[in-house]
Structure 1
Amino acid sequence: MALSDELSKFIPKDFGKKSKKSSKGSGGVSGGYGKSTKDKSQKNKRHSKSNPMSADTRNDNADAVIDSNTDRVSGDVDSDQQLPVDHHIVLSSGKKVVSTLTWDVAGETLCSGTHSGQMNLWDFKTMDGSFQPTRTVHPYEEGQRQQIRIARFNHDGSSILICSSADPRAKLLDSSGRVVREFKRGDMYLLDMRRTVGHVAPLTSVDWSPRNPERFISSAADSTVRVWNSENAAGQEQVLVAKSNVGKRRPVISSCAYSVDGSTIGMSQVDDGSLSLWAANASAKRPTHYLKGAHASGSDISFVFMPDSQGILSRGSEDSMVKLWDIRRFDKPLAEVSGMHAAATESNLALSPDSRRVLVGLGRSPQDGGGGDAGVAVLDTSDLRVRRRLDMPFSSDVVSVCWHPHIDQIAASSSDGSIGVFYNKEGVRGGAILCAGRRVARRQVSEITGPIITPHALPLFKDEPSTLSTGAKRRRAAERTKPGVPVYGHGSGGNIGVNETQHIMKTLMKDTLRDEDPREALLRYAQVAESDPMFIAPAYGDNNKSIFEEDDDNASEEHPLKKRK
């Protein structure tokens, strides 16, 4: 018995792992395996990493993944407390439409572009309470000023990339607004867009790569999206050519953007309202995802990627709709909302720093005759429900919106040249907070200088400034040096017509050569020639006397010719 008792200690009484008792004596964890839910989830994660699902399994489980993400994002969000809209300042950039806004990475400089071709830089560190732009530049020549469509700061804030509505070349500017580089234009006579070294139609959008700080993309109305290196202006590195489903004409690419991870390039087409996704790491010839009719045909579509690079928020200008897409189920939108009227083709979307809300700039409805209230709608990214509508300090339409991810401030531009910057004083100190409480700087007496009058600066001697372009000046200069053109018909401006001039000259200087007798004209000079010979007689008077042979009648006849033998 003693031996059996000793062996019984080593014989198991039941199978499986025993449940562990808690230290507080509240009983064991539910489940016979003694693993908590957290441990199971971690085990499942490790198992999923080691054994990835196949493509079919991922497609079958896409609905479950989408639902889980939606439940996680659509938590109870108090948008009123988290929106930085307690205070605001208004910046004035003129009277034209402010089409684009971009913030540097630190939130210290705001850049705005207008339809007049003017670009303003607002440095909040040095700006006083007058809220005047720190620097105003015109990237394009005075005679060729064009509408600036998009402006984008790079990752370190040292460069600005811009594109206009009538130029196929993108321009790279430094942080002070000086033009550093202008990229090459393509050959418009080549039909194959892959063989050209640049765009041949006006640009529509640009975007920086999140992976490579020197790489960016540009889209144009020539059906291409081109990948460039900012250090090389000679030509692009990659060309993505979209095919048209409406006729044989080239499709117009309205916008382009990189995904957050930089692995995907998205583009939208105006002709059929489609969205397409392309691989960014190779010279792809076909898109990986394509959706025709994402918005109404003819819509200028703007879109933005979600942080997981799986979701896309898009906006159409013609159908006035905002839609939420998932690329794993790209056939229909997860959610959509209507009534989001776009004020311009550059109207965009702006995600919040936590990606739970999206800002949509609103314009007045054209169906209501321009009526309705303009402002900014705050939508929930999980179901696109309108959480709040922000009133602007201006009464015009909202065109572009921007939400800085670090300083948590919102900037919105309008169609009358005003820019509203919203912030909370409890937030990160930066941006508009730096200059909101400053007074307007007073000018010192030593800084005030009187007018310097010179003789040639008086109005009597001053030339009026020319408002003509370079081409018009050349044409006018050529007209000044051009000889007088004959005036046909009746004269005008003090010039007599050619027909009247000829008639007068024929009357004054009549040609009588046909009516004269040539014999009488010659005999008129006969007496003068005999009395005063000038040409013929003096010439022969100085010659030696001619000696001629005299005739001799008595001379014998000439000797006859010798007879032939």
Structure 2
Amino acid sequence: MADGGEMDEEAMRAFFPLSFGKAPARPGSAASSAAHSTTLRKPPNPSNPKPSASTAADDDSGAMIGPPRPPSAPAGEEDDEDGGGMIGPPRPPPPSARGNGEDEDGSDMIGPPRPPPAEEEDDDEEDDDMEDDDMEDDGDGGFNRIPLSNEIVLRGHTKVVSALAVDHTGSRVLSGSYDYTVRMYDFQGMNSKLQSFRQLEPFEGHQVRSLSWSPTSDRFLCVTGSAQAKIYDRDGLTLGEFVKGDMYIRDLKNTKGHISGLTGGEWNPKSKETILTSSEDGSIRLWDVSDFQSQKQVIKPKLVRPMRIPVTSCAWDHQGKRIVAGIGDGSIQIWTIKAGWGSRPDIHVEKTHTEDITGVKFSTDGQILLSRSMDSTLKIWDLRKMKTPLKVFEDLPNNYAETNAAFSPDEQLIFTGTSIEKDGDNGGLLYFFDRKKLELVSRVGVSPHYSVIRCLWHPRINQVFATVGDKKEGGTHILYDPSISQRGALVCVGRAPRKKSVDDFEVQPVIHNPHALPLFRDEPSRKRQREKILKDPLKSHKPEAPVNGPGHGGRVGTTKGSLLTQYLLKEGGLIKETWMDEDPREAILKYADAAEKDPKFIAPAYSQTQPKPVFAESDSDNEEK
């Protein structure tokens, strides 16, 4: 029985591939390292063509943020106590201190150095920590270091990518573009080709301006340039669209929905049934996802004069209790949701920006507010003192109405993207600023030819997303570091496309195309056909122009009474037309005697000087020649 069992097991094993039952390659394995070597970012940074030796690695290779540490300082003595502390984990020791940069098994060490032997844990416990879904145990070490060593690009759009959303698990990515489409990417199902698994077109001819996942990541909100927002499920199936308002009602509070194009929208982070939308009609509306035909609340911003000024951006705070909006007149207004609240804002700051506000963002602790504008500035506001901003970062070009600003997962860094200028040498960049010191930390070149619009740093997978594009092409760049990032891009980069097997038999179908024959060809468009018929006087039945004077050639003139009378006289034979039967020469000669006796035109002018006309005589010699 034992031998028979072994034979059955071997026979059963033949039906499965060789890789069946084997654990997938870990980020630190040799196979994974080979896959990530193809996605390494090039060292030269477009924003800093000639970096110094001490900062070149910090800008481009994903090293720690801040001034360079002394190379001779030991790993345990690198903490500054005088207020200039370093951000991020300590750098690995020199090769001499860690065995010439090799691990125990002879392979190169990847990532930060291991802890001292006294504090080293069992390998099984380390593996459990790496595979844990919750990244709270990672602490500050992983988030204070920008993952910049590797990069992949999600392509597919034909124009600039203006909307971006990543679900809370970091497994599914949504990207919306000016080409009117939304593409859905799934890291677990993608291979190294990085192709989207679904493409949607919410509204034909309308740009996609904002995307937002629900708190449970089972649905997402799609905001386009139309007046109606749509809700889709996780797989891209339409669940419904909100009602459109009546554009002939002047008071926006009496309309059932937006009447102009939407500018932004966001799902309530704490309530899976409430969403927020802003529009060009000058209103902000709260909706209940369970009822697409009615709205919960209409908010009209406070204006100096009663007019319709568009609301260019809006956002929730992290508790879902406050709403912030950027108004077209340059003001920022904040409302607190409470019992009996109305349209009057709790905080109103006028003239914050000179141009449209493209993005607003609350911090998690509710103390800091970011505002990004098309006036090339990023402003940091303290919500306790909103009269003047804490800091204004200038020279940040912005040419798109969807450019945003965001925080790092631990909110120690603030970053935003920049657009390409016509006469500028820099490409699309990501600017990282320190929240406490309010100073520039790093500039990262994302694309040398395209502008950076949306940016996001996902806290669970520790990867930076940035959307780029122009009028011809668009994509989503994902920056990661195999040593500190988890899942996300790391899952699909090392997954090669499935190779075709001998058993993969495909029947080549025979295509019968009867419509290629002239009998089955489609007729030309009706518009061109109508234009062609209008040019043909017979097919278009164009009325003939009226005749002035007596009738000619079968047409009756307008001088002998009404048209009906003329027709009856002609048909009765009373009006006879004989000129068609006469010889033209005889018809002219019958007036020759009368013309000679009574000349009317040329002859009277010469009656005194030349009573008898003298005609020119022909020269025979000239005629012969």
- Whether TM-score is above 0.5 comes out as yes
Match of 1:356? 412
Could you tell me whether the CA contact under 8 Å between 1:139 and 1:178 is conserved in 2?
Answer: no
Alpha-carbon distance in structure 1 between the residues aligned to 2:477 and 2:263: 25
Q: Residue 292 of structure 2 aligns to a residue in which SS?
A: coil
State which of 219, 237, 244 in structure 2 corresponds to 1:159.
Answer: 219
Alpha-carbon distance in structure 1 between the residues aligned to 2:433 and 2:491: 29
2:382 corresponds to 1:326? yes
CA 397–463 in structure 1, closer or farther in 2 if over 3 Å, else same? farther
Match of 1:288? 346
State which of 254, 260, 283 in structure 1 corresponds to 2:312.
Answer: 254
Alpha-carbon distance in structure 2 between the residues aligned to 1:504 and 1:74: 106
State which of 188, 193, 211 in structure 2 corresponds to 1:125.
Answer: 188
Alpha-carbon distance in structure 2 between the residues aligned to 1:201 and 1:76: 50
Could you tell me whether the CA contact under 8 Å between 1:74 and 1:382 is conserved in 2?
Answer: no
Alpha-carbon distance in structure 1 between the residues aligned to 2:85 and 2:253: 47
2:238 corresponds to 1:176? no
Larger radius of gyration: 1
Alpha-carbon distance in structure 2 between the residues aligned to 1:155 and 1:81: 26
State the one-letter code of the partner of 1:150.
S
Deviation at 1:441, TM superposition (A): 2.5
Alpha-carbon distance in structure 2 between the residues aligned to 1:461 and 1:402: 56
Tell me the percent identity.
26
Could you tell me whether the CA contact under 8 Å between 2:463 and 2:485 is conserved in 1?
Answer: no
CA 189–364 in structure 1, closer or farther in 2 if over 3 Å, else same? same
Match of 2:324? 266
Deviation at 1:278, TM superposition (A): 0.6
Alpha-carbon distance in structure 2 between the residues aligned to 1:211 and 1:74: 38
State which of 282, 286, 307 in structure 2 corresponds to 1:223.
Answer: 282
Deviations 1:254-279 (A, max 9, x none): 01111112211101111x21100011
Correspondence list, 1:81-92, <5 A: 82-92=145-155
State the one-letter code of the partner of 2:384.
R
Deviations 1:158-188 (A, max 9, x none): 11101112x1111001112221100001111
Alpha-carbon distance in structure 1 between the residues aligned to 2:353 and 2:416: 16
Alpha-carbon distance in structure 2 between the residues aligned to 1:84 and 1:462: 59
Correspondence list, 1:286-435, <5 A: 286-296=344-354, 298-317=355-374, 319-366=375-422, 369-392=423-446, 395-415=449-469, 416-435=473-492
2:513 corresponds to 1:452? no
Deviation at 1:347, TM superposition (A): 0.7
Deviation at 1:493, TM superposition (A): 7.9
Q: Residue 391 of structure 1 aligns to a residue in which SS?
A: strand
Could you tell me whether the CA contact under 8 Å between 2:154 and 2:475 is conserved in 1?
Answer: yes
Alpha-carbon distance in structure 1 between the residues aligned to 2:497 and 2:201: 26
Could you tell me whether the CA contact under 8 Å between 1:341 and 1:365 is conserved in 2?
Answer: yes
Alpha-carbon distance in structure 1 between the residues aligned to 2:235 and 2:424: 38
Give ranges in structure 2 of 5+ residues lacking alignment.
1-82, 90-142, 557-565, 575-625
CA 291–449 in structure 1, closer or farther in 2 if over 3 Å, else same? farther
Corresponding residue pairs, total? 423
CA 512–250 in structure 1, closer or farther in 2 if over 3 Å, else same? closer
Deviation at 1:301, TM superposition (A): 3.1
Alpha-carbon distance in structure 2 between the residues aligned to 1:448 and 1:375: 47
Deviation at 1:95, TM superposition (A): 2.3
Pairwise CA RMSD: 3.2
CA 510–203 in structure 1, closer or farther in 2 if over 3 Å, else same? same
Deviations 1:125-153 (A, max 9, x none): 0101111111112222xxx3311000111
Alpha-carbon distance in structure 2 between the residues aligned to 1:277 and 1:346: 20
Deviation at 1:78, TM superposition (A): 4.3
Match of 1:147? 207
Deviation at 1:361, TM superposition (A): 0.8
Match of 1:77? 87
Alpha-carbon distance in structure 1 between the residues aligned to 2:424 and 2:449: 12
Match of 2:493? 436
Deviation at 1:430, TM superposition (A): 1.6
CA 117–465 in structure 1, closer or farther in 2 if over 3 Å, else same? farther
State the one-letter code of the partner of 2:316.
Y
CA 147–504 in structure 1, closer or farther in 2 if over 3 Å, else same? farther
Match of 2:156? 93
Alpha-carbon distance in structure 2 between the residues aligned to 1:158 and 1:463: 46
Match of 1:506? 555
Deviation at 1:357, TM superposition (A): 0.8
Alpha-carbon distance in structure 2 between the residues aligned to 1:503 and 1:244: 75
State the one-letter code of the partner of 2:383.
I
Deviations 1:419-463 (A, max 9, x none): 211112123532111101111223456364424321415465665
Give ranges in structure 1 of 5+ residues lacking alignment.
1-72, 517-565
Q: Residue 157 of structure 2 aligns to a residue in which SS?
A: coil
Q: Residue 93 of structure 1 aligns to a residue in which SS?
A: strand
State the one-letter code of the partner of 1:162.
C
Match of 2:588? none
TM-score of the aligned structures, taking structure 1 as reference length: 0.69
Deviation at 1:280, TM superposition (A): 1.9
